[in-house]
Amino acid sequence: MNPCTDNRKQMMRPHILVVEDEQHLGVGIKYNLEAEGYRVTLVEDGPTALRVFGRTGDGIELLILDLMLPGMSGYAVCEAIRGHGSRVPILMLSARTLAEDRTRGFNVGANQYMSKPFELDELISRVKNLIQLNRRAAAGERMVASPKPAVTRAEFGQVKVDFDTHQATSAGQNIRMTPKELRLLRYFVENPDRVISRGELLSEVWEMSGNLQTRAVDQFVVRLRKLIESDPTSPRHLLTIRDAGYRFVPAPDEDE
């Protein structure tokens, strides 16, 4: 076999970066993913993960990230990667099972969250799903000849938002929004006055399968209303459409 051909085949395999400080678990994940045909790089701490990602980020198609890491937490690693604009899918692993831990993971940009211990078959299934979704999204972006420019600023009601600088005000008061809240609001702003299903939001904002059963969308919408609505219990901009999803109304009628 030609060594050059072998190298080309190796480079064509999806590249996964695994960040796990429990050596036996990291080695086991690496072994099983390689058996599935993936190319895997294994590191054991946050700073090393960022250095590796900085060198090869464009070629990495998935990051499997433990939360409890030496040097810096998985939350900090995820936030740093998202802060540089990368949309690589991130699957978080953690022995923590509290809802606030999962919420924090999604807030800093994770796509999915798995609690330890986990079933190997489920991990492999999620890996395949995330990589396929990301490849389809990338292919769709390449097929669009004249993509609609992303909204950078928005004003509605008493709210002003600059999505590039992450600055937002409501009635002249600064409001703090997480990256995921900003991304969700931006998607609503870019798709005004139409009904958006929970499945679409999971796919487009969370980059997860739209068939996944989760309350994450509803929880984030409740939090978003507290930030942008003058009366969150009687929203005028972010409406719930029963059995269908949500509709963002930038300029509601007085009697709506």
Distance between CA atoms of 108 and 76, rounded to whole angstroms? Answer: 8
Query: Which residues lie closer than 8 Å to 203 by C-beta, 6 or more apart?
Result: 133, 209, 210
pLDDT digits (tens, 9 = 90+) for 138-195: 766 555 444 556 788 999 999 999 998 999 999 899 999 998 999 999 999 999 998 9
- Residues lower than pLDDT 50 in the chain: 1, 3-9, 144-146, 255-256
Neighbours of 74 (CB within 10 A): 25
Structure confidence at residue 206 (pLDDT):
83
Structure confidence at residue 155 (pLDDT):
94
Structure confidence at residue 210 (pLDDT):
55
- Percentage of the chain surpassing pLDDT 70? 86
Strand order, beta sheet including 159-162:
153-156, 159-162, 167-170, 173-174
Domains in the chain (CATH in brackets) are: 3-140 (3.40.50.2300), 153-248 (1.10.10.10)
